[in-house]
Every structure is written in structure tokens, then in C-alpha cells.
Structure 1
């Protein structure tokens, strides 16, 4: 178990959790499935900032998933309980299957670039709170706005890489199953009542980031936290049905198209498929409704690395990577300036489909220690 290290960061900010110098060891241990994080004291500086704030702005990463949205709206409701007037901005739409998390519509969707009113909200905020990412480039259109803000910036995250110097307080626990686990710790440390809506949002955060408790990042911690939320009244069955069993016919047909285009290399050790924009438009499916596609590709026996390449614009591609073995896909994503976790990571690339596949396959072979033709 790693000890907390609050002395490893420069004096310009305070970093809590795993120190930068420990990251190589963290990646190695996370690849082997060892659970690193156990609940401990929430950083006092983070709690003080949250208690003091009266007009906070809450942000999360582009293309928000269940952990991002669940953590953000849970923080929003909790700060309202403390008497604050929070604003929560999303830079991209939420997948339809996750919209129930924000049933009270506390999150505001930016329509492209922030409006003048939204920029004013960023300037007037007395605290910027970022959840589920510590990388400023993943804040989308809000990046430049908060860079110009004089408000202190705090972060709650569980990803391996980030811009640690960007925050005055950062609580980063790469071994945590989800950011939702950390937000639950914050809520309890603030001694706020855990609302039923918040409990449901946090259950979604934990359940989706662990693949409904199937991924290696689950560990006993994820199950204990889930049990706590179920004891508070969360009903897992309807949540599972909404997220995993309520897909449209068009999305299901598109998944069939993707599986029909499936390819493999190195004796099925590398499995990949490309979802082109024409394929997606033919079925009428939005980009935000593709969550989970990459996991469907990993059903091939013997696969070690799974790759989904999605065309998001002319010459622009979003890459999702999954590891089903001992190899870390985080190192592959990091090679292309991406990030994530040892078992699940991603990046964005530009070029032709052929160029991108060639680059990805070459890096995958290097990771696997094998050779072969593209």
C-alpha cells in the first residue's frame, strides 16, 4: 500500500495521494491488478476550500461519462446543501442513457464556445472545481476561461497523468476505482446528508467506471462503496437496465456493423475495428452514444489489446484502448499524448485511417514485444 505523500510537490501547489515520482511504480502495480487505494483522510485544504466557497464553478472532462457526470452533479448538490450557489458546465452532451443522473438538470451544456453569461460565471466564481480529470486540455472550451480566472482551482481525480501545477489543491488517487469513490469521501467529510439522488449518481459513477464491477480496478473498495449506497436505498436493477439494456435499434445495428469490420493481428492478441463517419451517419447514431462499443470488441479469446478507432471529423480520430492481459494500454495512449488507466486509456490522432492504424499497431506490438506486418 502506498503512503500518502504531501511533500513531493513544489511549494506552488499541494498534491495529495500518489507522488509524481511514484507513477512508474503505480502503473506497474496497477497492471498486475493490485488495489492501491484504501479510504483515508480527505485533504484538509480541499475541505476548507469547499466550505469557504459561495460561488463555485464545477467542470469535468469533454465527452462526460458516468463517473464524470455522477461526480459533478453530486458535488453540485452537496455544495448547495452547504449554502453555496454552484454552477456546473458540460462542454459536450451527455449520452442519452446517462441523462437520468442529472434529473434535476443542475448541469448546463455549453453550445460550442461559452456564452458571455457563462464566461461571466467563470470570472465571478470564487472557486473552480474540476472532477474526473486533472488535464487542462480535457476541459474543452472552458480551458481558456478558467486559465484567465483568479479563483483558486481544486481537483478530485483518479487518473495517472495530469497538470498538477495547474491546481492549488489536487486530490489524485490513481488506485481508486472511480472519482465517485473520492467524492463520496468528500461528502462524508463535509458531514453533509447524502441525498437519495446523490447516492444514485455516485453508484452510477462507480458502476460505470468499473464496467459494472467487472474490470480489474473494482477490487473490494468498489464493492464496499456500492454496498453502502445500496443500503442507503439505491436500486441497481433499474440502473443497469437504463445504462446497459436500453439501446436503440440503430445503435445496436451500428454495433453489428462494427463487429463485422473486426480485424486482428498477432494471433488475435491485437483486436481492432474502425468506425467511420459514414458508417455512423448511415445508422443515425450520435458520437456520445458510442460508449461501451470498445468493450464489445474484447470478446475475442486470446486478445490482449483491444482498439476502437472512431472518426470524429475529417482526418480526426478518437482512439479507445483496452487491456485484457498484463500489458498497460496507458503507455500506448501516453505515447500519443493521451492518458487514462493501465487497463483503459485513450487518445486522439490526426491523419488517414491507414496512417493511424499503422502507428497504433506498431506501438501495440512494441508493448507486446512482438513483431509483424501492419
Structure 2
């Protein structure tokens, strides 16, 4: 598949690079890793994310060039859709704009929507897969690309705390440091530059902490009222699910965020024993064994009861 991707790059001039809505560190960093790589090859590239670049990732090279609308854009020779799982999460409007699509992803059950389907669920991050493309093509990895690849790995392995932090993740991260990446500057950008609004919202979210009677799962919630009260936005909730996950004995953490008058996005994190990907798919969502999500319709109490009932059945 990598050879087919390199051939596609060689034969094209104008490319689109996109990732899923509400982008996390891997989605945004891999987008900019490939964008910078292609631009350094002399290609014309439009980097797109329908939700733009979250504040915590704006230190990444090329972040200022990411667009959130493709209105008026000329056709692209190819579109690279990264870390999306499903095309709709990046935007169904991408397909008619691109002569072909390339799906690069590490989510299990990733939708086969592209002419080229490069999916490896054993890869620790989509950023790792961009690195592989560069290396197999004999392409130079610039400081800008190295910074993005390192950030993608750091983000999706939970700073090398999650089970997907495999030898390849450490090896490639070390190589990126050898190429000039400063680990402290990345950690500072990701974790030491929080806004006051985020901490105020976090305080309200932690007040909703609920631990199940079996003590195997715990959750926190954020409503639209909390966002209005603190002046925060959805992007400020990134990482909230890790707080209930950190409780001793908890195997599954859940984060409920209101996304409509009667709808909540549910984020799941597992410490490894429970496949939350299967749970999310049963609820109409998707994701990995250890990290997944879905949108569930209803008021918060109903949504929580629905999800907890399914999780109880899964734990049994």
C-alpha cells in the first residue's frame, strides 16, 4: 500500500489532507506531518479540518494554514483522509472534490472508502504511518515533519502510558528527537499551556464524578450550560476522560458531553480488559479496543442509564 501511495504522490500535483472532526493530537499532528512532507516535495496542498485546529495544537508547524471550509476549491488530484475511521467524520463533501481518496488509519473496522486503503490497527498512531511512508520513499524528514510525527505518537500513546506504546513508537519517537525535536517544548505545548476557562470547566466536570457500584467504571459529564457558564468550548474538554480513568480499580472511564438539546457524545477509555470499541459500535459509534466514542440521543440521565446498562452487561 505504501508503494501505491508513493506512486499517487509522484503522479499528482495538488492534494487535500484531512482528518476527523474534533481532532485529537494524532489527527491534527498526522495531518500536518503529511502536509509539510508534501509541501517540501513541491506539491500544492490544502490541509482541512471542519473544526479547525484546537488551541493546544497551534504550536505545530503549518497549523495556521489549516482551513475549515473547502468552498470554492478546485479539484484535487487525490485526497488523504487520516485517522478518521469513517469518511463522514472527515466530511462526505471531500469525495466529489478529489479524483481519488487515500484512507490512512489505524482504527479497527475503518471504512473502506478510498481507492487506496492503508489501515494498520497495530500502528500506535496514524503519525507513525506517515513516518513509514516517508522512510519507504526515501524522503527527508525535516524538523517540521519530525515535530508533527513525535506529537502524534506522544498524543495517541498517552505520553507513552497506554498499551499501544510499542517498541516502534519508542524507536520512532527517539529518532525524531535525534532529528531535533525538543520533548519539553512539545509537552509544554500540549500539557502546560492550559487556559483558565478549561480549568474552570474541569472543576465543574469533576463535580459530576460518578463511580459504579462495582467500582469498575466511572464517568464525568459536561453540559451545554457548563460551557456557557465558564465560557469554554468543546475543545477545552480534551483529556477530561482521563480523570475517571486514573481512579484505582476503574477499568473503563466514560465522558459525556452534550452536543445537542437531547444528545450526548460519549467517550470511552479502557485500561485494556474491556473492549470499548465493541461497545461504541453497538451504540452506533466506533473506535479502538481501548478508546472509542459514540453519540447517544436523549437527556443526560437517560443516556447515562442506557450506556451503563450496556456496560454492565459487557462486564458480566
TM-score computed with the length of structure 1 as normaliser: 0.81
* Number of the residue aligned with 1:90: 49
* Number of the residue aligned with 2:82: 131
* Number of the residue aligned with 2:157: 210
Counting only pairs closer than 5 Å after superposition, residues 1-374 of structure 1 correspond to structure 2 as 43-103=2-62, 105-110=64-69, 114-115=70-71, 117=72, 120-121=73-74, 124-140=75-91, 143=92, 145-149=93-97, 151-164=99-112, 166-369=113-316
For residues 83 and 103 of structure 1, the distance between their equivalents in structure 2, rounded to whole angstroms, comes to 15
| Helix, strand or coil at the partner of 1:100 | coil
Structure 1 residues 202 and 325: alpha-carbon distance in aligned structure 2, compared to 1, 3 A threshold: closer
For residues 224 and 55 of structure 2, the distance between their equivalents in structure 1, rounded to whole angstroms, comes to 20
1:103, distance to aligned residue in structure 2 (A): 4.4
Moved more, 359-368 or 129-138: 129-138
Judge conservation of contact 1:180–1:202 (CA < 8 Å) in 2.
yes
**Structure 2: gaps (5+ residues):** none
1:253, distance to aligned residue in structure 2 (A): 2.2
1:82, distance to aligned residue in structure 2 (A): 2.4
Alpha-carbon RMSD: 1.5
Structure 1 residues 251 and 146: alpha-carbon distance in aligned structure 2, compared to 1, 3 A threshold: closer
1:79-116 Cα shifts (integer Å, max 9, x gaps): 12222211111100322111111446232122xxx42x
Structure 1 residues 104 and 307: alpha-carbon distance in aligned structure 2, compared to 1, 3 A threshold: closer
Judge conservation of contact 1:76–1:106 (CA < 8 Å) in 2.
no
* Larger RCO: 1 or 2 (CA < 8 Å, sep 6+): 1
TM-score computed with the length of structure 2 as normaliser: 0.96
Judge conservation of contact 1:269–1:303 (CA < 8 Å) in 2.
yes
| Helix, strand or coil at the partner of 1:83 | coil
For residues 287 and 81 of structure 1, the distance between their equivalents in structure 2, rounded to whole angstroms, comes to 33
Number of aligned positions between the proteins: 316
| Helix, strand or coil at the partner of 1:105 | helix
1:238, distance to aligned residue in structure 2 (A): 1.7
1:246-287 Cα shifts (integer Å, max 9, x gaps): 212221122122112101113211201221111122111111
1:74, distance to aligned residue in structure 2 (A): 1.4
**Structure 1: gaps (5+ residues):** 1-41, 370-374
1:149, distance to aligned residue in structure 2 (A): 4.0
Judge conservation of contact 1:309–1:318 (CA < 8 Å) in 2.
yes
For residues 296 and 220 of structure 1, the distance between their equivalents in structure 2, rounded to whole angstroms, comes to 27
| Helix, strand or coil at the partner of 2:123 | coil
For residues 235 and 76 of structure 1, the distance between their equivalents in structure 2, rounded to whole angstroms, comes to 21
Structure 1 residues 149 and 108: alpha-carbon distance in aligned structure 2, compared to 1, 3 A threshold: closer
| Helix, strand or coil at the partner of 2:312 | helix
1:222, distance to aligned residue in structure 2 (A): 0.9
1:296-332 Cα shifts (integer Å, max 9, x gaps): 1212211111110001221121111011241111111
